[in-house]
Amino acid sequence: MKLALEFDHVSKEYRSLFGRRFRALDGFSLQVYPTEIFGFLGPNGAGKTTAIHLAMGFMRPTSGSGRLLGEPFGHAITRRRVGFLPENLGLYPRPAEQLVRFYGALNGMKASDLKPRAGEVLEMVGLEDHARRNVSRFSRGMLQRVGLAQALVNDPELLILDEPTSALDPVARVGVRELLMRARTQGKTIFLSSHLLSEIELLCDRVAVLHRGRLVRLGRTDELLESYERTEIAARGIKANGIAKAIAPERSSWNFDPDGMLRIAVPRDQQRATISRIWEAGGEVVSVVPQRRSLEEIFLEVTSGADSAAAGGVQ
Amino acid sequence: MKAILVIAINFVREQRWPVLVMLLWVLLLAFLGLTTEAARSKRPTPIKEQGEDLLFVFKQVAVYVVAFSVFFGSSAIFNDRRSRRILSVLSKAIGRQDYLSGLVLGITLASAIYCIALGVTGSWTLGEVGFPVRQVWFLMVCLLAACMLAGTVALMFSTFLNPFFAAGATAATMGLPFLLSHTSGNAMWTLVIPVNALAAAVLKSSFEAPATGSWMAIFLALAETVVFWFLAAKIFSYMDIAVSVE
């Protein structure tokens, strides 16, 4: 299968005028498959934007290589099939519709196709009423939406979005989320770098966490969110707090639902013993499921864990 | 090819205010030249003396455009990088050499607007006092070739230097052959980078010798523009354009 995006042991080192070196990416490898929404996470300075800029051909890797839609990074013609939204967007000061047409023309689109397409994409990002207004008078959120429109104008196969919703209000954010969902149903691949973990959690099929230029976690979002280290046991028929306390082992937490269901989150090695105690206390086990965590918890765990174990590879 | 033209037109559009000011300056001087000449024609001033004054102003105004083309060339990439507009442009299906071609064409178009305005006003004012109109346009061709080369040299330096140093390096590069021709006494040196030779053709023109420039210098300027464009494209292909230029 042809990959949408591939990094193969890519390293990137910046050098200052005085010879000081800074390694932004260190042997970074990643594969993004067609038609998936891929979340790219990492704290500030982790190397996310560097990786994206390498993929777009804005810079060359110090070592390693990569491919964008099957062609080496920097292949200009391939970018016709790519839509890109940079993190800090710079736009020429002119009416939104003209600007979108300008970017479409750079991609070789015909003038006859550009006018309707520009209107269409501006409508998609909710700027149809501002199409004739100069973007220099736009708010940051509106500029972000023009940026999305210029990324979409050529109907790309692959969308590379660096913090697409960072400047948007909640309503616009929902709009962008729906737009990306729709893009996926149309068979597009989306590579999404964001600090908004809730967005990534809702949207992405797979996520990668980058820290200090290294990939520290990669996997399917639903698998990452499920903890195999802790299990949540739901039991009926146990009413008293005292009994619940007796059943719950150490390093566990428990609570009663409003309908009286006891929920105990236990370490995995305590799961069998806890179930036995519930039965002995006359309770009935309703469900045993791996506990679900938030992406924020995983992110914090991975990035703080990687600090103490800097040599760690992909987990 | 279409993308190159789009970038060139975009460049001229971005530089519309300097271009407009230059045009107004040309028109203002042409107006002043004509009104002065009209006032003089009522007095018994010899026509040759009137013409010399007009030609002097015309020559001074003409060579400014070479400095403008250096200014355009040395700041074009820097402005796009500082504003981060270059990222959204180069994220499209255009190579860096196309981007540079667009800028060279844009600098040439901006200079051509000035040269055409100067050619029209020059034909009008100098034609009145007997300067051959055909030679006015030949001098404009010399000037445009000089602008194209000077702008491309500046653009080449600006791929790795900030605008101030790029402009300085361009001035040094253009001045070196002129210096060598003076020290060695060999006039052929001026053809190495013939910006000075072409500007001198404009500055030395007179009623007695209206056209001192040569087609050879014009063709050399065009050929060297291609060479410097190629050098610029080679250097620019290795640059990390996403790195801050501040």
DSSP per-residue string spanning B128-178: HTT--HHHHHHHHHHHHHHHHHHHHHHHHHHTTS-HHHHHHHHHHHHHHHH
Enclosing domain of residue A136: 5-212
Tokens 């499921």, residue? A289
A234 and A207 share one domain: no
Residues belonging to chain B: 246
Give the rounded percent of residues in chain A with a pLDDT score beyond 70. 96
pLDDT tens-digit series, residues B69-95: 999 999 999 999 999 999 999 999 999
Which of the 8 DSSP states describes residue B116?
A: H
Q: What average pLDDT does the segment B10-20 reach?
A: 91
Q: Are B17 and A119 in contact (CB under 8 A)?
A: no
For residues A105 and A15, state if they share a domain: yes
Residues in A touching B85 (Cβ below 8 Å): 90-92
Same structural domain for residues A194 and A134?
Answer: yes
Q: Is the per-residue pLDDT at B42 higher than 70? A: no
- The average pLDDT across A57-72 equals 94
Q: Which has the higher per-residue pLDDT, B60 or A150?
A: A150
Q: Work out the minimum CA distance from A249 to partner chain B, whole angstroms.
A: 54
**In chain B, % of residues over pLDDT 70:** 90
* B92·A107 Cβ contact <8 A: yes
The residue type found at B147 is C
Instruction: Render pLDDT for A255-281 as a digit per residue (tens, 0 to 9).
Output: 888 888 888 888 888 888 888 888 888
Q: What is the pLDDT of residues A104-142, one digit of tens each?
A: 999 989 888 899 999 999 998 888 899 999 999 988 888
Interface of B to A at Cβ within 8 Å reads 2-3, 6-7, 10, 13-14, 83-95, 98, 238, 240-243
Query: Would you kindly state where each structural domain of chain B is located, as residue ranges?
Result: 2-236
Question: Please, which residues have CB within 8 angstroms of residue A29's CB and are 6 or more apart in sequence?
Answer: A7, A8, A9, A10, A64, A215
**Quick check: A60 and B93 CB within 8 A?**
no
Name the residue of chain B whose CA is nearest to A80's CA: B93
Both A11 and A121 in one domain: the answer is yes
Mean per-residue pLDDT over chain A, rounded? 86
Calculate the alpha carbon distances from B7 to A59, A77, A266 in Å.
21, 17, 63
Interface test with A, best of B87, B96, B103, B160 (most A CBs within 10 A): B87
Model pLDDT for residues A199-256, shown as the tens digit of each residue: 888 889 999 999 889 998 898 888 777 766 778 888 988 877 777 777 777 777 888 8
- Looking at the fold, whether A207 and A242 belong to one and the same domain comes out as no
Q: Percent of chain B scored above 90 by pLDDT?
A: 50
User: Closest to B87 (Cβ–Cβ): which among A14, A86, A94?
Assistant: A86
Does the pLDDT value for residue A311 go beyond 60? no
Q: Does A77 touch chain B (CB under 8 A)?
A: yes
Q: List, in sequence order, every beta strand (DSSP E) within chain A.
A: 5-15, 21-32, 37-41, 63-68, 71-72, 82-85, 158-162, 189-193, 206-211, 214-220, 226-236, 253-256, 262-267, 284-292
pLDDT bucket at B5, cuts 50 / 70 / 90: very high
With respect to residue A83, please indicate whether it lies within any of the assigned structural domains: yes
Q: Tell me, what's the pLDDT at A312? A: 43
ipTM of the complex: 0.85
Both A66 and A18 in a single domain? yes
Q: What is the pLDDT of residues B99-153, one digit of tens each?
A: 999 999 999 999 999 999 999 988 888 887 778 888 889 999 999 999 999 999 9
Tally the domains of chain A: 2
Chain B contact probe: residue of A58, A85, A101, A106 with most B CBs at under 10 A: A106
Chain A residues touching residue B241 (CB < 8 angstroms): 58-59
Question: Model confidence at A313, in pLDDT bands (50, 70, 90)?
Answer: very low
| Residue A25 pLDDT | 92
Is A89 in the B-facing interface, judged by CB distances under 8 Å? Answer: yes
For chain B, give the mean pLDDT: 87
Average pLDDT over residues A38-51: 90
Residue A223 belongs to some domain of the structure: no
Whether residue A185 is found in the same domain as residue A263: no
For residues B5 and A20, the model is more confident at B5
User: By the CB < 8 Å criterion, does A180 face chain B?
Assistant: no
- Domain assignment of residue A137, yes or no: yes
Q: pLDDT of A179-195, one tens digit each?
A: 888 888 888 999 999 87
Q: Which of B87, B94, B241 sits opposite A90 (nearest CB)?
A: B87
User: Are A261 and A195 found together in one domain?
Assistant: no
More confident residue, B31 or B36: B31
Tell me the torsion sign for CA atoms A276, A278, A283, A286: negative
At residue B174's C-alpha, the angle toward residues B173 and B177, to 5°, is: 90
* Cβ contact, residue pair A102, B84, below 8 Å: no
Q: Can you give the pLDDT at residue A314?
A: 41
| Chain B: closest CA distance from residue A20 (Å) | 15
The answer to whether the CB of B156 falls within 8 A of the CB of B96 is: no
Q: Are residues A157 and A31 in the same domain?
A: yes
* pLDDT on residue A305: 64
- State whether B240 and A59 contact (CB < 8 Å): yes
The model's confidence at residue B202, banded by pLDDT at 50, 70 and 90, is confident
Q: Give B233 to chain A, closest Cα distance, Å.
A: 14
Which residues share a beta bridge with A254? A264
Contact by Cβ (8 Å): A196, A165 = yes
Buried b (16+ CB within 10 A) or exposed e, A165-198: bbbbeeebbebbbebbeebbeeebbbbbbbebbe
* Integer Cα distance of B120 and B142 in angstroms: 15
Whether A136 is covered by a domain: the verdict is: yes
The pLDDT of residue B158 is 94
Return the amino acid letter for A211.
H
Q: Which of A8, A6, A18 is nearest to A70 (CA)?
A: A6
User: Are A56 and B7 an interchain contact pair (Cβ–Cβ within 8 Å)?
Assistant: no
Taking residues A134-155, report their average pLDDT: 90
**Dihedral (CA of A133, A136, A139, A141) sign:** positive
What global pTM score does this model have? 0.84
Of B63 and B244, the one with more pLDDT: B63
Q: Are residues A240 and A188 in the same domain?
A: no
Residue B10 to chain A, least CA–CA distance (Å): 9
Give the whole-angstrom CA distance, residue B147 versus residue A220: 58
Nearest CB to B83; choose among A90, A102, A147: A90
DSSP type of residue A134: B
| CA–CA dist A2, B4 (Å, integer) | 31
Query: Under an 8 A CB cutoff, do A105 and B87 touch?
Result: no
Domain-ending residue, one of A212, A245, A261: A212
Give yes or no for a contact between B135 and B204, defined as CB atoms under 8 angstroms apart: no
Using alpha carbons only, give the angle B100, B106, B107 rounded to the nearest 5 degrees.
95
A59 CB neighbours in chain B (<8 A) are: 240-243
For residues A29 and A9, the answer to whether their CB atoms sit within 8 Å is yes
Q: What is the CATH number of the domain that holds A268?
A: 3.30.70.260
Instruction: Locate the chain A residue with the closest alpha carbon to B2.
Output: A108
CATH code for the domain of A149: 3.40.50.300
Q: What is the pLDDT of residue A59?
A: 93
Contact B92 A106 (CB under 8 A): yes
Q: Confidence band (pLDDT; 50, 70, 90) for A166?
A: confident
Q: Do A60 and B243 touch (CB under 8 A)?
A: no
Kindly state the DSSP code that residue B19 receives in the 8-state scheme. H
Interface contact flag, A90 B88, Cβ < 8 Å = yes
